[in-house]
Amino acid sequence: MIRMLVSDVDGTLWIDGSLADKDVNAMRQTFHQGIEIGLASGRMDPELQEVAKLLDIPCHRVSQNGSFVYDHTERLLASASFDLTLARQLLSFATNGSFPYTVSCTDNQIYIPPLKRTQFLRDRMFMPVHECTDMRHLFEQGILPCKFGFFGDLDTLHNLRLQLLQRFKNVLHAVIADKDCLDVIPAHVSKGVGLRSLIEHRNIRREEVVCIGDSFNDIAMFEVTPHSFAMSHSDPAVLNAARHVAASVVDVCTFVNRYNRDCTAEFTHRERNA
């Protein structure tokens, strides 16, 4: 039986600036059938809380690509950040580069440098974004970064990713999180690691979980369960990493309903013939 459905947000559940009514209704129906719902995203936890409010159902939350994991009762299951030395080095890399960037920190706030072109960064967030003239001082006060987000066209972000992995070997992950966003997170963090901690806490087996996503940061989540779905518009590498392809979240909810119905029918058949 499937006991949990976990969905990515941007490009999967959140498309063209909104949640589709059909996806919302399907998620609610799935929840009321007894299936636990989870959200897994590169976004901050307060942003996922806003998505959960729109869905109007309790949701587990894997935020910042696994840096923070909360269950539906608000219990914190996992948290991670860069250490001070690496935080300083990444800040130097970001400030000396040409890419617009955001810094997500352990105080559940998003910071940006005081640049002219920042409105597009503010517009894409579901929470306030704060300008900070001295992030280094912020870090030294114990408010450490969990994620650096870089923004640009996909080809240049792929090149930036390679530069980061070459310069900071074995100490960070750099993953394409959206069509114009590269997320940089600690080396031991991923959506897959976050999902594993969640299902362990909920005493749910890997084969009892279904997940859906559309970007490279979702591949780690696909590796957790045999029931993985990639959105049909995903990059070929993402499509190849998933077991199934879906046009929408509705397709996954339909799969869950049919899968559980078949499992129930098989169990009933075995009981009758026992």
Beta-carbon contacts of residue 87 (< 8 Å; ≥ 6 apart): 81, 139, 144, 145
**pLDDT in the model for residue 272:** 55
**pLDDT in the model for residue 269:** 46
Gap between the Cα atoms of 152 and 267, Å rounded: 51
4-79+190-272: CATH number? 3.40.50.1000
**pLDDT in the model for residue 32:** 97
**pLDDT in the model for residue 38:** 99
Gap between the Cα atoms of 62 and 38, Å rounded: 8
pLDDT tens across the length of the chain (274 residues): 999 999 999 999 999 889 999 999 999 999 999 999 999 999 999 999 999 999 999 999 999 999 999 999 999 999 999 999 999 999 999 999 889 999 999 878 888 888 756 777 788 787 888 889 899 999 999 999 999 999 999 999 999 999 999 999 999 999 998 889 999 999 999 999 999 999 999 999 999 999 999 999 999 999 999 999 999 999 999 999 999 999 999 999 999 999 999 877 665 545 555 5
Q: What angle is formed at CA 102 by the lines to CA 130 and CA 222, rounded to 5 degrees?
A: 130
* Domain boundaries along the sequence of the chain: 4-79+190-272, 84-186
Protein fold of 84-186: 3.30.1240
Gap between the Cα atoms of 39 and 60, Å rounded: 6
- Phi, psi (5° rounding) for residue 270? -65, -40
Closest CA to 230 of 5, 1, 11: 11
